[in-house]
A and B are shown apart, each in its own frame.
Chain A
């Protein structure tokens, strides 16, 4: 045996095998499978070899469909080839999968199983994607744990080579793919022995080869296609036996025996629960516990789901079984039963008929765990208990409250089966404080202790700034087989004091557990500062209570918000799992490993944090009785709408799983604007306005990524009831006597990014302070709440009176996109806010999947909203790969229904009044006042139609809103526009329809963690381009300009906001397609985000990101439609690029390439600029479509 214990997550455990048994990997990022692809790419970059001593080729593709096509091609050319994917990615691979299977091709697709986009999208785990692929002809082998996913990855590869049937290897997304657990790593030697080279040679022999050519992939007619489909049957028939053979061989090499259908439980069990994936482990452990407590039950895990082997399955099932529950982690609306349930029923019916099984047990089915909904032993027990009933509930659900269809099973949340020697720890932290990273290290430290096992799982919210995390850490002296969240904790750490007021931190604490709190209050002061509810929990559960002001320790050491090392040290100290010296040494060792590559300074700082931690840790003397008075504040204001109270607020409070089905919108329709209720208070410092210095220019509010800076002008008298602290200044423009100006900062929604301060041009004579300066939030919080309330009562500035063409004017336009979950300093969101300010009350948005879908549309925090009149942004996210087409659909439908409305209005002109009809039909709709007039007319029309009570009137009423010109925008990132939907975008732009496309160009796939796209620049490092991108970014603008009839602009708000405003307004006004490329800084660039707008200016100054507009209407007037709005390059590219880690890092990792790539990047930028300059100098006749000029 040549194995050794390691700790890793499921993705790593799978990728470790996949990489070693393949030659080609065609990849594309998609959560939660991306880490497998990233690892393969990293290893390839580092020259890690597969078992044949070769470095596999890892090729990023433009989409999963492309990845599958590339895999298909590589397989047909004889290479051992794989891919990694999930969810929508697998859906895009389906067409090729039918081909690959039909051609009997050996390959394994490694899938981190995930939910599908339906009424809502979800990145989390279930089996919907797997189930949707079950007709492809791929064999399906499902793993239930990190170890199993590792082992079965190899077994799948061995089996596919033997069987010639392709395999999907799947493990549950997140629950297994992201769980860290101790595992016995299969050695390269064992891998080598598992893979038969004869079969590899046979695979190559079957490949296309001009030296002995044949034709595969023909087209067939009714005469032969049918037989072709049936001819594969013997291959499928052999699969189960071949998989079992591989499993047996694997057992002989490693000692770990697997079976296709794995039964654990009483040999004479009467009740059996059947399941797949990680849920099987929960069922199995529960069954063991129940049997140990006198019951006779069993758990059957289906590992080989396709081809389903009735023979093996029936053999595995105990003959004593009387009732069976089959669990499906999927939902197939309208089906008589879910897939695994149906399979079991079908197999049993046939088995009984064929005398393979003695009797027909009662079989019920149920659904659990969709989108990683936690599946606990309590739920598993409820299912076993249900089977005891004379008429158990069929088609049940477990884990939700279904008060609509009444499918759910009740369960006892206090039920706990975990062994006493398993220590369970919960850590609540912030994304930025490093808690998760520290726990990843802790789990490794714990499991490296001989004879110990450890597990860690991380639960995040989806905010990209101020994200809250929960780390679930278990350790003990037996393997941890508990793939569910910790609900009974021996140790609870709260790394952020405020959480005590927002979440139920101690709900999961066991009696007598240890509670560690990062507290700004000392041990003798903290008690009176915590809410009464928490006091009751501490006293009631007799918790040992410790405090440390880790934030202060970290601040003094220069660690900023990173309290991770300090609290990790406290955890080891309190948990007493290792002798103190050993623990400190282990922590320091892991610090060295984690931070070593970042430099010794960081390592030493963290060492000092370790040394300082224990001294700052103090136990709190807990009074026998809680007598505090601090309440838990309401999650949302009591004035919030009922839905927000009942649903939104519950989700925000972390109680979403208790919301009954009846309260959840059935069709995915939610109210917008709910981010206003979050008040996340994540900033420590916020901008503070100095009205005396302010020049009221609007430069701060236009760059604010979170719409927290609002400006209003109003009359002097409106200040009558203003709070004392409310600031204002006289309007500094001429012609506004007795008018005041106020800049109000929504400090509770501010992330403290400081971009506004950096962008403020009003610098005081001290040369440092400006009209806005960062200052501590806490001292001004209460007063600002009052100020904001007052500010909101001031009237909005009349839009018709605002000059929308300049930055100063735009600040007065109400944003209908606010307080999103985007990163502090995000470069994308200011553009979206601007669009919402300019066109928000008539805006319909098709949003591609990506950051912009998450920070604006992740339930319950929805950032797009309506204005006080109830008009605003109608937003929807279809998918990643179809967003352009989705938006075109908006346009087609709007145009069609507008046309219908106009037609109906003409017909009913006499009834509604000729004057009104004519006015509506001929109304110009460009300026704000024109929109206001048209809305008034349409409103009058609606009133008249409502009274008419005719079918024609009702029909017109149903489409009357389309008489108001609609602004349709298609929003997405560069991964969407340049890669996955490039074809769709191109098609949509070519249709001449009036859609406005904005590409929030961060030059990487930001949402999935910075993978290279075709927008990634030459010379920048990114995931999948670790050694630096070797080709320049695609010039999407130039390609689109080639059409001639598409409005195209390239903008950078930080370089020239006026140009950005003009471009947006021109694009929107253009009666045809438009495309705007918007430079968007991103944390994946490795810059101080506070300076992001300055970096935009440098991008433009270097000529890397020229600003321009191509307006086809100009050509019609004989003018040059292409206008270059930025100057010639004024700084070398290096002065821009080397301020970003993505470029700079190459000077260290690949110093020789770095210089070369920089030279090439400079040359590419020069050349691109020259092309634009040439275009700007042409006359209008030299642009397409000149054929339109031919009479």
Chain B
């Protein structure tokens, strides 16, 4: 049975990719995830503002007491590569060398220069590809959707022009026209689109009247949104598609592929069940394929993608929406 797939030009042993999470932050964990069988690993995102804040705080520490008294011009040995980004790059470099599977670097920039510099550094450190994490909450009501989209596309173009490795984009689902955005991103050089970013919206605590922050794992139902978009886009999109969010079983992986995605990305399920659960997912996929008598991923990938015109797709979706809303309600009085 051939479960290989290709994502961002990378030949992967199977379609289960570990997406960015705390499990893919440090070298030890990354190697554990690799040993557990992930076909590729997206390293935990590097946030430009974190790096910059850390650089400033640490520079102040390095400089404390420097050139201040006659007996010591400084208090630390001379060392190269001591900036915080160097640390992340060192993890990337070591992971790329030792993991045995492609390591995709995930980047969340906060300045135009930062996106570029960090992306170049990641490429040099051995990233197999770079995933641009466009997580952004447009809190400014004066900012238009078009502006947000244009900014993302510009970042993509700039990065694309600077690096040779494949570039993917992890997209927000909150767009008026995700299809159009995906199309433009692909036209602007995106080699892959990840559907979608999780936003981890904070909740509210009613007693203390405070924000409820913290990680909430994805739920299985969340898979429907990316599935729909993968199905809608895969037939027409030049870029690879990855589904992220709600992939919790081998059958979910199969659904992603049926919808036309090239890979399924997992994080919550690994955080909950451990990295070794990757092999369960792969086994479940294989079992399903065997039951379905499918010899390869290629044999069914995109089999359930929307094949017709956009109008047909819209009709289909509209109809099932209408159907749900007009369905008879269960008797709630009982």
What is the interface of chain A, defined by CB distance below 8 A to chain B?
A: 31-32, 34-35, 38, 41-42, 45, 123-124, 174, 178, 431-432, 434-437, 440, 458, 460, 462-464, 467, 469, 558, 560, 562, 595, 597-602, 604-605, 823, 854, 1006-1010, 1021-1026, 1082-1084, 1086-1089, 1141-1142, 1144-1145, 1147-1149, 1151-1152, 1155
Report whether B69 and A35 are in contact in the complex, using a CB–CB cutoff of 8 Å. no
Supposing A600-B117, A602-B56 touch, asked if A41 and B77 sit within 8 A by C-beta, the answer is: yes
Cα–Cα distance between A178 and B77 once the two chains are bound (Å): 18
Q: Can you name 11 A-B residue pairings with CB atoms under 8 Å?
A: A31-B70, A432-B68, A437-B67, A458-B70, A464-B68, A597-B81, A600-B55, A1008-B72, A1086-B61, A1148-B84, A1155-B27
- In the bound assembly, the distance between CA atoms of A599 and B63 in angstroms comes to 13
State A432–B67 Cα separation when bound (angstroms).
8
A595–B60 Cα distance when bound, in Å, is 11
* B66 is an interface residue with CB less than 8 A from chain A: yes
Task: Tell me which of A854, A1006, A1089, A1144 contacts B64 (CB under 8 A).
Answer: A1089
CA distance A386 to B82 in the complex (A): 57
A717 to B33, CA, bound (A): 73
A45 to B84, CA, bound (A): 21
Q: Are the CB atoms of A1008 and B71 closer together than 8 Å?
A: yes
Are A601's CB and B69's CB within 8 A? Answer: no
Taking a contact as CB atoms closer than 8 A, the residue among B69, B71, B78, B85 that contacts A599 in the complex is B85
Rounded to whole angstroms, the CA-CA distance of A1082 and B76 in the bound complex is 12
- Contact A598–B82 (Cβ < 8 Å): yes
Beyond contacts A599-B51, A1007-B72, A1084-B76: 7 other A-B pairs, Cβ-Cβ < 8 A, are A605-B56, A1010-B76, A1141-B61, A1145-B82, A1148-B82, A1148-B90, A1149-B81
Asked if A174 meets B70 with Cβ closer than 8 Å, knowing A602-B55, A1009-B75, the reply is: yes
Known: A31-B71, A1009-B73, A1089-B64. A599 touches B83 (CB 8 A): yes
Q: Tell me which residues across on chain A come within 8 A of B52, comparing CB atoms.
A: 599, 601
**B76 near A1023 (CB under 8 angstroms)?**
yes
| B219 at interface, CB cutoff 8 A | no
Q: Which residues of B contact A178 (CB under 8 A)?
A: 70
Nearest-CB residue, chain B, relative to A471: B67
What 1/0 flags go to B21-34 for Cβ under 8 Å of A?
A: 00000011000000
The answer to whether B77 touches A1023 (Cβ under 8 A) is: yes
Partner of B28, one of A45, A1023, A1148, A1155: A1155
B105-134: CB near A (< 8 Å → 1, else 0) gives: 000000001000100000000000000000
Complex Cα spacing A685 to B333, Å: 67
Task: Give the complex CA separation of A1022 and B78 in angstroms.
Answer: 9
Indicate if the CB atoms of A467 and B68 lie closer than 8 Å: yes
Interface centre among B61, B64, B66, B91 (most CB of A within 10 A): B64
Instruction: Using CB atoms, name the residue of chain A closest to B48.
Output: A601
* Nearest CB on B from A33, distance (A): 11
Chain B's closest residue to A1141 (CB) is B61
Q: CA of A463 to CA of B78 in the docked complex: distance in angstroms?
A: 24
Q: How far is the CA of A157 from the CA of B73 in the complex (A)?
A: 28
Partner of B51, one of A41, A601, A605: A601
Q: State whether the Cβ of B58 lies closer than 8 Å to any Cβ in chain A.
A: yes
B90, closest chain A residue (CB): A1151
CA distance A38 to B79 in the complex (A): 12
What CA separation (Å) do A1025 and B52 show in the bound complex? 28
| Contact indicator A469/B72 (Cβ below 8 Å) | no
Question: Does B321 interact with chain A (Cβ within 8 Å)?
Answer: no
Closest chain B residue, CB of each to CB of A1089: B64
Distance in angstroms between the alpha carbons of A436 and B75 in the assembled complex: 15
> Given A35-B73, A1148-B87, A1148-B90 in contact, is the A601-B67 Cβ separation under 8 Å?
no
**What's the Cα separation between A1008 and B62 when bound, in Å?**
16
Does B86 lie at the interface of the complex (its beta carbon under 8 Å from any beta carbon of A)?
yes
Contact B70 A462 (CB under 8 A): yes
Q: Collect the chain A residues with CB atoms within 8 Å of residue B78's CB.
A: 38, 42, 1026
Q: Are B94 and A1152 in contact (CB under 8 A)?
A: yes
Residues in A whose Cβ lies below 8 Å from that of B271: none
Which residues on A sit within 8 Å (CB–CB) of B60? 560
Name B66's closest neighbour in chain A (CB-CB): A437
Q: A47: shortest Cβ distance to chain B, in Å? A: 12
Whole-angstrom CA separation of A501 from B61 in the bound complex = 30
Q: Whole-angstrom distance between the alpha carbons of A544 and B281 in the complex?
A: 78
Query: Complex Cα distance A178/B73, Å?
Result: 10
Looking at the assembled complex, report how far the CB atom of A37 sits from the nearest CB atom of chain B, in whole angstroms.
12
B152 to chain A, nearest CB (A): 22
B76 touches A1086 (CB 8 A): yes
Closest residue of chain B to A858 (Cβ to Cβ) is: B69
Complexed CA–CA distance, A434 and B59 (Å): 12
Q: Shortest Cβ distance from A878 into chain B, in angstroms?
A: 19
Residues of B within 8 A of A (CB-CB), count:
43
How far is A600 from B110 in the complex, measured between Cα atoms in Å?
14
Closest to B76 in A: A1010
- Find chain A residues with CB under 8 A from B70 CB: 31-32, 123-124, 174, 178, 458, 460, 462
For A432, the chain B residues whose CB sits under 8 A away are 64, 68
Chain B residues whose C-beta falls within 8 Å of the C-beta of A124 in the assembled complex = 70
B86 touches A1148 (CB 8 A): yes
User: Are B76 and A1145 in contact, with the CB atoms below 8 A?
Assistant: yes
Could you tell me the distance between the alpha carbons of A604 and B73 in the complex, rounded to whole angstroms? 24
- Chain A residue nearest to B93 (CB atoms) is A1151
What 1/0 flags go to B176-187 for Cβ under 8 Å of A?
000000000000
Residue contact B90 to A1147, C-beta cutoff 8 Å: yes
Contact B69 A467, beta carbon cutoff 8 Å: yes
The answer to whether the Cβ of B145 comes within 8 Å of any Cβ in the partner chain is no
List of B residues within 8 angstroms of A595 by Cβ: 59
- Tell whether, in the assembled complex, residue A1149 and residue B63 are in contact, meaning their CB atoms are under 8 Å apart: no
The reply to whether A434 and B87 contact each other, CB–CB distance below 8 Å, is no
- For residue A1025, which residues in chain B have a CB less than 8 angstroms away from its CB? 77
Bound-state Cα–Cα, A32 to B51, Å: 37
Question: Which residues of B from 124 to 174 have beta carbons under 8 Å from A?
Answer: none
Assuming A600-B55, A1084-B75, is B81 touching A1148 (CB within 8 A)? yes
**Chain B residues, Cβ within 8 Å of A1022:** 76-77
Q: Which residues of A contact B63 (CB under 8 A)?
A: 434, 562
Nearest chain B CB to A740's CB is how many angstroms away? 38
User: Which of A464, A1023, A1141 contacts B65, CB < 8 Å?
Assistant: A464
In the complex, are the beta carbons of B67 and A599 less than 8 A apart? Answer: no
From residue A1069, how far is it (CB to closest CB) to chain B in Å? Answer: 37
B74 interface contact, C-beta 8 A:
yes
Q: Is the CB of B79 within 8 A of A431?
A: no
Taking CB as reference atom, which chain A residue is nearest B80?
Answer: A597
**A604 CA to B86 CA in the complex, in Å?**
17
Q: From residue B76, how far is it (CB to closest CB) to chain A in Å?
A: 6
A1151 and B65 contact, CB distance less than 8 A: no
**Residues of chain A lying within 8 A (CB to CB) of residue B91:** 1151
* Chain A nearest Cβ from B201, distance in angstroms: 24
B293 to chain A: closest CB distance in Å?
A: 46
Q: Give the distance to chain A from B296, nearest Cβ to Cβ, in Å.
A: 39
Tell me which residues across on chain B come within 8 A of A1142, comparing CB atoms: 76
Choose among B70, B74, B83 the residue with the greatest number of A CB atoms under 10 Å from its CB.
B70
Bound together, the chains give a CA A558 to CA B60 distance in angstroms of 11
In the bound assembly, the distance between CA atoms of A535 and B283 in angstroms comes to 86
- Asked if residues B58 and A469 are in contact (CB atoms below 8 Å), the reply is no
A32 to B73 alpha-carbon distance, docked (Å): 11
Residues of A within 8 A of B61 (CB): 1086-1088, 1141
A1145 to B77, CA, bound (A): 10
Residues of chain B with a CB closer than 8 A to A1089's CB: 64
Residues of B near A1155 (CB, < 8 A) are 27-28
Complex: A241 Cα to B73 Cα, angstroms: 39
| A30 closest partner in B (C-beta) | B71
What is the chain B residue whose CB lies nearest that of A1151?
B90
CB distance from A941 to the nearest CB of B (A): 47
**Bound CA span A45–B68, Å:** 26
User: In angstroms, how far is the closest chain A Cβ from the Cβ of B151?
Assistant: 20
- How far is B51's CA from A917's CA once the two chains are assembled, in angstroms? 73
* Distance A1083 CA – B75 CA, assembled complex (angstroms): 7
| A38 and B82 contact, Cβ closer than 8 Å, known pairs A460-B68, A605-B56 | no
A434 and B81 within 8 A (CB): no
